[in-house]
Amino acid sequence: MALKLHGVAMSTCTARVLTCLHEKEADFELVPVNLFAGEHKQPAFLAKNPFGQIPVLEDGDLTLFESRAISAYVAEKFKETGYDLIRHQNPKEAAQVKVWMEVESQQYHPAISPIVYQFFVAPLHGKTPDEAIINENLEKLGKVLDIYEEKLSRSKYLAGDFYSLADLFHLSYTYYFMKTPRANLINDRPHVKAWWEDISSRPAFLKVASGMNFGEEKKD
């Protein structure tokens, strides 16, 4: 039975899981959720995720929410197929993957997500991007990227010389960030830029990126 992923491709969190599913060559069905109609706040969806957020994964009688948890489950369930995203045969490398997954969640995401929100989500609500919020978080993101630049001068990817979930988790938010006028924060750091160009050109992500049209869908 194919997995069912409830979400929309333009969503950063749904895109994170979609990329993982494609890397693992998993059989799945994407079940669209109409966010603009508030479908994610209706009882049928809330029964799957009481927090009313996408994505949600259904695997038989198992229901999961939170994109990083879903991706980790997919990477483990299909560890023998597709690309090994968790280094399951090497405990030390697997530990490094977990470290940098935490760094993305606790350091990178809190800095980049408010910037992406201001540029892409705020205008959908009729608001002008708040430059104070953008600048405050650009400073935070810059400090994180300085650490990344040093780390990536010593290894091709964050957890080592291998691509993993730690890198994959950065893709969706960075993809939108690179469409903003502040993309120089990545481009001005040569090792970070090379890393970004590498991970964003992977076939699994290119399949997902074609549907990441946040800010355009409402107009269509």
The one-letter code for the residue type at 200 is S
- Determine contact, residues 143/114, Cβ cutoff 8 Å: no
- Determine contact, residues 168/108, Cβ cutoff 8 Å: no
Question: Which ranges of 153-213 does DSSP label H, i.e. alpha helix?
Answer: 165-168, 171-177, 184-187, 190-199, 203-209
Specify the 3-state DSSP secondary structure of 63. strand
Give pLDDT, residue 29: 97
Give pLDDT, residue 112: 98
- Sequence-distant (6+) residues with CB within 8 A of 143 are none
DSSP 28: E
Domains and CATH numbers, the chain: 3-82 (3.40.30.10), 91-202 (1.20.1050.10)
Digit-by-digit pLDDT tens for the chain (220 residues) are 689 999 999 999 999 999 999 999 999 999 999 988 999 999 999 999 999 999 999 999 999 999 999 999 999 999 999 999 999 999 999 999 999 999 999 999 999 999 999 999 999 889 999 999 999 999 999 999 999 999 999 999 999 999 999 999 999 999 999 999 999 999 999 999 999 999 999 999 999 999 998 755 443 3
Give pLDDT, residue 152: 98
User: Peptide bond before 55: cis, by omega within 30 degrees of 0?
Assistant: yes
